[in-house]
Structure 1
Amino acid sequence: MADQDAFIDAFARFLDKVVHDHERATSSDAGELVRLLDAHLGSPAVECSIVTERLPPWRLVDADAVLDALAGAQGRVVGLSVDRRQRDVGLRSILAGRHGPVGVAPIDHISMPVGPGEERRVVSRGLRLLTWGGEPVAVLQSAADPEWDREQATLEVVGASAETVDAFLAEVRRRMTADSVLRGQVMTFRPHGFESMLGGVAFVERPSVAREDVVLPDGAFERLEQHVLALGAHREALLAAGQHLKRGVLLYGPPGTGKTHTVRHLVGAAEGATVLMLSGNSLGAVRDAASIARVLEPAIVVLEDCDLIAEDRDMMGSPDSLLFELLEALDGLDGDADVAFLLTTNRPDLLEQALAQRPGRIDLAVEVPRPDAAARRRLFALYARGLDLGDEAVGAAADRAEGVTASFAKELVRRTVLAAAVEGVPAADRHLEAALDELLGDRESFTRSLLASGPSMHEGRPRGSRGRSHHGVGEEWIDEDGNGHVVLGGD
């Protein structure tokens, strides 16, 4: 027992010596970086106030631009000689000497997108030395690095005065929001790393779809424009009357009827608004999208085919959890947030119960049905624009193609042009008629279903019969009413 106690005492003295020798070594040679920092601050950095600001990866580019502006021509950035693969490399650990003497090295940079086809060279790890408000301040700027368990970017701010550090960070936050590169952009989320990415956010060009190119039922277009676009213009009047600005809009109807086309017009017309477009797997990022939209309002959050949330159990667990995320995002914003949630769905029946149980999330629901005869004529004329086709021929084709969608009309005109190109002649009425005969023929029944135009109206089914229509998202029963219109119903 005595031998064991002696061993423990000896081992404890050994550890004390190791720690003492290490502290003496680091205190006598803290490294060039710490000496440079001490000289800039005018006092030992280890005794100064340090505040760490954690940022989502996409916000580093905003921080980089703001810090460059605040530093001005007199600012300086130096690199660190510490290997990025070392864990927990931060200002506190460097000052504590946990990485040995740290020298000055070349600055690490990464390229980050700031818009479609545009990039900015950003400091991914470097120590900024600057003066703000007459006081010396330093910032260790570090990018996120998931490969080495750094899920967030960080700014570690050090200064001799805690008040100066706090005020400096407050100004950085304010400018990052006011001058964010994301403000006014159109973006989407992607689940993995691709080009043009900004921490999971990808920039896309703002679409341009003219109003006259959108064919909707009478009055629908005006309701959408007023609710999505015009409401923000009356912000002060609404808020003064105690009314909220956030709103939810649902576009519903069969596939291929023009919901996405309508969304593209609204997004293009919302000049200056920040737009976040989610679909497929990226629907799981609705909470992040709502957070960005709140910061960068006025904003629109688009959720295409949101019925997938209620069907797909593989995206982020159970569909109920994703639907809950969506409803929480709709409900979680403050009333003064100028944010519009614009949802599209092929299957409103899958969402109706959940939305009805939590009223107020959707303020406007607009149906985009299969086009009637007048709408089909407008669609066929729209897609045939620029071709030398007769008005009578286009109108007759629209009348023959009862029950089809905009997708059908678009494919019909494409086949018309292709047939003429094969012959080496301009598109003519006979090419349109031949293409329509082909698409309405028995051999193209499945093609018609893929174009969301049913197996359908041209196969001799009696009115009111029931048949399967494959719409790409599950299956639906379809009925025809007495006017020959398709009526959707649940299984």
Structure 2
Amino acid sequence: MADGGPTVDFEERVVDRITKHFAGLRTRDLTTMGRVFPTTARPDLETAIADLLEAEATDVDFVGVSALNYRPLKFSALISERREPPIVVPAEYQDIDIGDETPGRCIVSGIWFFTHRDAPVALLVSQAERPYDDPGVRVEVVMSEAGGGRDAAQRLLGIMAKSLTERSVYAGRTLSFTTQRSYMGGLGALQVHQLPTVSLEDVILPRPTLEALQRTVFRFVETRAALKEHGFSTKRGLLLYGPPGTGKTHFIRYLLFQMAGHTALLVTAEQVAYFNQVMMVARALQPAIVVIEDADLLARAREERDGDCSQVLLNSLLNHMDGLTEDAEILFILTTNRPETLEAAVRDRPGRIDQAIEIPLPDAECRARLLRLYSERMTLPESIVEACVRRTDSVSAAFIRELARRMAQFALLRDTKEVGDEDMQLALDEMLNAGDFNSMALGAAS
């Protein structure tokens, strides 16, 4: 390095920066207030901080902070760690999937030093709690008592929380969590899903079933504000049950596509172990829809569960569904192929499931409509439709979809788009006469 040039200290301790910023103050003169924001806050965090600093701060300085091994990065650890004190490092960012072509970004960890109303303040950002999952982001505000102490720190955190709630890039999107495979488990990063276009014409169910679903979901949401004004709960729990392949998942796709403005969270049964984190996201992004498919996996007999721990996890789900926050604008949708296996608390107790609706096997009219829908790019004579309907009593919508595909396959092998009798016969023989197990796998009654 040339004589007289600037020097870079690659071993500058963070505690030295803190000591300099709060010069003249003792540790007991400082107050630290922290708040954990859900993982959905990460791509909007830096913008929220920038807005806060522009409105409330002067003399702003930022430094990146090296992580602590196996310990949460908190202000108390920064000033007390002696063995391997954290050092100042360049700012580190992570790319985050936000459902757009260009990913969002989030600072991994760092401190903003600034002055607020003539008093020194520090704002620390770090990953919340464990480095092995993605529970969210922790923000701490360090304030002197002379500068306003706890009340002033809470006010600054409140400004950030309001900003994050109002501008989330995840609001109105369909989200799921990856599942960590480390020995500690936990929820991983958020994934954003692009919903397929599903119109009402694509939802083929018996009219009474469809009308019940419309009342339970869409009409309820339309009157939610009025219900809240009159003191009624604005959350709802819906259970969809019926044999496999009848269209439960398909209806949910239609519902999510139509519910513009609602954030959807797709949760697997195994992820219910971390339902507190799921609900932190759902509450932050209301109005929200929480979807848990195959809910019967949560409700094995008590003697088959892993003791008290498993029961606590199940109760965590049930308690959130039980109206603990009456004004929460959250719709829970559970699906099951085996409603009889559900815990009595889920199945019978009012307030956890507000409505249970059966998605039945398609009747003759629905089977005919399904065949026409799935074969819309083929030529399907009405005589073929009628013959298929007669021979497919007690089959699922999934069976009809596969039947349409096989008939199309055999017709295309003959270099034609028109399905003929021989195509239908071959497809039905393969699907219905190859043994009970084959029929069950395809969605036909044995």
Q: Shorter-chain TM-score category?
A: 0.7 to 0.9
Report what 1:330 is aligned to.
Answer: 321
Structure 1 position 119, deviation (Å): 2.5
Do structure 1's residue 246 and structure 2's residue 235 form an aligned pair? yes
Trace 1:267-416 onto structure 2 (pairs within 5 A): 267-311=256-300, 313=304, 320-351=311-342, 353-355=344-346, 357-416=348-407
CA distance in 1 between partners of 2:280 and 2:235 (Å): 13
CA distance in 1 between partners of 2:311 and 2:237 (Å): 19
Structure 1's 427 and 192: CA in aligned 2 closer, same or farther, altered over 3 A? farther
Query: Which of 90, 102, 126 is equivalent to 1:106?
Result: 90
Task: Please list every run of 5 or more consecutive structure 1 residues that lacks an aligned counterpart in the other structure.
Answer: 1-29, 456-491
Trace 1:165-180 onto structure 2 (pairs within 5 A): 165-180=153-168
Q: Are the aligned partners of 1:57 and 1:151 in contact in 2 as well (CA < 8 Å)?
A: yes
Query: Which of 122, 138, 142 is equivalent to 1:158?
Result: 142
CA distance in 2 between partners of 1:217 and 1:316 (Å): 42
Task: Look up the equivalent residue of 1:348 and give its one-letter code.
Answer: P
Structure 1 position 374, deviation (Å): 1.0
Structure 1 position 436, deviation (Å): 3.2
CA distance in 1 between partners of 2:133 and 2:376 (Å): 55
The number of residues matched between the two structures is: 423
Do structure 1's residue 66 and structure 2's residue 48 form an aligned pair? yes
Structure 1's 247 and 373: CA in aligned 2 closer, same or farther, altered over 3 A? same
Equivalent position SS for 2:107: strand
Q: Deviations over 1:464-483 (max 9, x none)?
A: xxxxxxxxxxxxxxxxxxxx
Do structure 1's residue 183 and structure 2's residue 141 form an aligned pair? no
Structure 1 position 257, deviation (Å): 0.9
CA distance in 1 between partners of 2:307 and 2:47 (Å): 34
TM-score norm. by structure 1 comes to: 0.75
Structure 1's 39 and 354: CA in aligned 2 closer, same or farther, altered over 3 A? closer
Task: Look up the equivalent residue of 1:125 and give its one-letter code.
Answer: S
CA distance in 2 between partners of 1:348 and 1:100 (Å): 55
Structure 1 position 353, deviation (Å): 3.4
Q: Are the aligned partners of 1:300 and 1:340 in contact in 2 as well (CA < 8 Å)?
A: yes
Equivalent position SS for 2:97: strand
Task: Please list every run of 5 or more consecutive structure 2 residues that lacks an aligned counterpart in the other structure.
Answer: 1-10
Which segment is superposed worse, 286-295 or 315-324?
315-324
Query: Which of 187, 195, 199 is equivalent to 1:206?
Result: 195
Do structure 1's residue 120 and structure 2's residue 104 form an aligned pair? yes
Report what 1:139 is aligned to.
Answer: 123
Which segment is superposed worse, 308-317 or 172-181?
308-317
CA distance in 1 between partners of 2:48 and 2:245 (Å): 45
Structure 1's 299 and 173: CA in aligned 2 closer, same or farther, altered over 3 A? same
Q: CA RMSD in A?
A: 3.4
Structure 1 position 306, deviation (Å): 0.8
Q: Deviations over 1:192-238 (max 9, x none)?
A: 169xx984533222343111111112132232223223323323321
TM-score norm. by structure 2 comes to: 0.82
Equivalent position SS for 2:445: coil
Structure 1 position 104, deviation (Å): 3.5
Report what 1:21 is aligned to.
Answer: none
Which one scores higher on RCO, CA 8 angstroms, separation ≥ 6?
Answer: 2
Structure 1 position 133, deviation (Å): 6.5
Structure 1 position 330, deviation (Å): 0.8
Q: Deviations over 1:314-351 (max 9, x none)?
A: 79977655543332221143222121111111112122
Equivalent position SS for 2:52: helix
Structure 1 position 415, deviation (Å): 1.3
Structure 1 position 56, deviation (Å): 4.9
Query: Which of 38, 48, 51 is equivalent to 2:33?
Result: 51
CA distance in 2 between partners of 1:68 and 1:33 (Å): 22
Do structure 1's residue 78 and structure 2's residue 63 form an aligned pair? yes
CA distance in 2 between partners of 1:316 and 1:417 (Å): 52
Task: Look up the equivalent residue of 1:50 and give its one-letter code.
Answer: T
Task: Look up the equivalent residue of 2:53 and give its one-letter code.
Answer: A
Structure 1's 129 and 315: CA in aligned 2 closer, same or farther, altered over 3 A? farther
Equivalent position SS for 2:109: strand
CA distance in 2 between partners of 1:395 and 1:74 (Å): 79
Do structure 1's residue 264 and structure 2's residue 253 form an aligned pair? yes
Task: Look up the equivalent residue of 2:62 and give its one-letter code.
Answer: V
Q: Deviations over 1:170-193 (max 9, x none)?
A: 211222223233322211233216
Structure 1 position 412, deviation (Å): 0.9
CA distance in 1 between partners of 2:81 and 2:311 (Å): 49
Structure 1's 328 and 150: CA in aligned 2 closer, same or farther, altered over 3 A? closer
CA distance in 1 between partners of 2:215 and 2:92 (Å): 48
Q: Answer with 1 or 2: which has the greater Rg.
A: 1
Structure 1's 432 and 334: CA in aligned 2 closer, same or farther, altered over 3 A? farther
Which segment is superposed worse, 282-291 or 314-323?
314-323
Structure 1's 429 and 315: CA in aligned 2 closer, same or farther, altered over 3 A? farther
Query: Which of 411, 435, 440 is equivalent to 1:420?
Result: 411
Task: Look up the equivalent residue of 1:157 and give its one-letter code.
Answer: V
Q: Are the aligned partners of 1:51 and 1:165 in contact in 2 as well (CA < 8 Å)?
A: yes
Q: Are the aligned partners of 1:132 and 1:168 in contact in 2 as well (CA < 8 Å)?
A: no
Equivalent position SS for 1:327: helix
Which segment is superposed worse, 350-359 or 308-317?
308-317
